[in-house]
Amino acid sequence: MGEKLLMKGNEALAEGAVRAGCRFFSGYPITPQNEVPEYLSWRLPEVGGTFIQAESEVAAINMLYGASACGARVMTSSSGPGISLKQEGISYISGANLPIFYANVMRGGPGLGNIAPAQGDYYQSTRGGGHGDYRVIVLAPNSVSEMGNFPKRCYDLAEKYRMASMVLADGLLGQMMEPIEFDFEPVDPAKLPPKEWALGNAEGRERRIIRSYDLKPGYLEKMTLKLLEKYNKIEEQEVKYEAVQTEDAEILLVAYGTSSRISKEALMLGRKEGIKVGLLRPITLWPFPTKILGELSGRIKKILTVEMSLGQLIDDVKLAVEGKSRVYLHGRPSGGIPTGEEVLEIIKNICSE
């Protein structure tokens, strides 16, 4: 806490993770998140942690699986194509009820795509992403400050619920610089309460087993229903969002991450011209702020989702709104970055309908 630093988003994310107690990172390079492993490669050894550049994304995520099973605060990061490769391991980790933290600094897709900022991995992040029934807690920062402060929140949530928690950012948030102030005291992982389930140092205690499956007939269903209990609790208790000038809004923008910054500019431009624009920014993408959107849609009849994807966030908005408002889309995929002026034009078109 204290000093205001000017940091790059990726470096803030890496430093934030270390301050939050991360002591193990394994990953594989990909633009636009390379500053994360670059930073951790020297920073983690400074605090007695371990940095491994793995031979592949699949190896990296399985190293994380092992380190997490032993109770370490662990992290990996990548961009879309690399996260795809890690999904198998994330699914196993979810089945095994292990806490991990990872970050996706999104770039344009599909396929190899490009290295421009994009938000096309919304489905991948909020729907689990790998095989089987599981969820991942998804936090979406929209500033360098949040890039630095969200890893702490992710670790707290991941360990509270024993599951994967991630930061979903994009190339712009990763590459841009902004002032940052860390809002928490550095965590010493050695002083955290012992994990009652962690492996290692087994002498003198009962054997512990961590696995992602149970082959006895009917048992896996029970295991997965246990996951549901936890997911239901998270949906009730862990939703976070930011509401901007929604009280008198006649049109509501819904956007996260970089898109929410651009939407805020459109809101300010619109308000200057007397258009009553509001903004709802989901901070947790899963759990999604369904309840507040449902409430707002009773009153605000026009909703515009602004996303740097073809229309993914809009699905969650429609599920929340349940037909009570008309939901419009402004989607710029694969590296297209909207401007405030551009969004304002669309707001005007919708309002004049």
Partner 1 sequence: MYQGVIMSGFGGQGIISAGILLAYTGLTEGKHVTFFPAYGAEMRGGTANCSVVISSEEIASPVVAFPDTLIVMNEPSLTKFEPSIRKGGLLLINSSLVSGKSKRDDLNIHYIRANEFAEKLGTIKIANMVMIGAYSRITGAISIEGLRKSLKKVFPRARQDILDMDLEALKKGMETV
Query: How near is the Cβ of 115 to partner 1 at its closest, in Å?
Result: 4
Tokens at 271, concatenated: 């308000």
- Of 112 and 225, the one with the shorter C-beta distance to partner 1 is 112
**Measured from the CB atom, is 96 or 168 closer to partner 1?**
168
Burial class (CB in 10 A: 0-12, 13-18, 19+), 283: buried
- In 3-state terms the chain splits into helix, strand, coil percentages (rounded to 5) of 40, 20, 40
CB of 178 to partner 1, least distance (A): 5
Closest CA to 288 of 136, 106, 154, 94: 136
Q: Which is nearer to partner 1, 176 or 220 (CB)?
A: 176
Instruction: Give the shortest CB-262-to-partner 1 separation in angstroms.
Output: 5
Distance CA 335, CA 309 (A): 9
Q: Are 72 and 48 in contact (CB under 8 A)?
A: no
Which CB atom, from 144 or from 296, has the smaller least distance to partner 1? 144
194 close to 162: Cβ distance less than 8 angstroms: no
**Which C-beta is closer to partner 1: that of 66 or that of 340?**
340
**Angle, CA of 325, 351 and 318, to the nearest 5°:** 25
User: CB of residue 141 vs partner 1: minimum separation in angstroms?
Assistant: 13
**Residue 168 in contact with residue 107, Cβ under 8 Å?**
no
What are the structure tokens assigned to 174, written together?
């990763």
Strand residue runs (E) in 182-265: 241-244, 251-254
Closest separation in Å from C-beta 340 to partner 1: 6
Contact positions vs partner 1 (CB under 8 A): 4, 6, 31-32, 115, 171-172, 175-179, 261-262, 264-265, 267-268, 337, 339-342
- Residue type for 205, please? R
Residue 6 Cβ vs partner 1, minimum distance, rounded to whole Å = 5
**Please, which residue, 54 or 115, has the CB nearer to partner 1?**
115
Cα–Cα distance for residue pair 105/118, rounded to 1 Å: 9
Phi, psi of 144 (to 5 degrees): -65, -35
Instruction: Find the shortest distance in angstroms from Cβ 134 to partner 1.
Output: 33
Give me the residue label for tokens 């239901």: 232
CB of 1 to partner 1, least distance (A): 17
For the bound state, the minimum distance from the C-beta of residue 249 to partner 1, rounded and expressed in Å, comes to: 16
Nearer to partner 1, 156 or 178 (CB): 178
CA distance 69 to 67: 5
SS3 331: strand
Query: Could you identify the residue written with the tokens 């936890």?
Result: 230
Taking the least distance from each CB to partner 1, the nearer of 157 and 267 is 267
59: its two tokens:
């190896």
CB closer to partner 1, 177 vs 225? 177
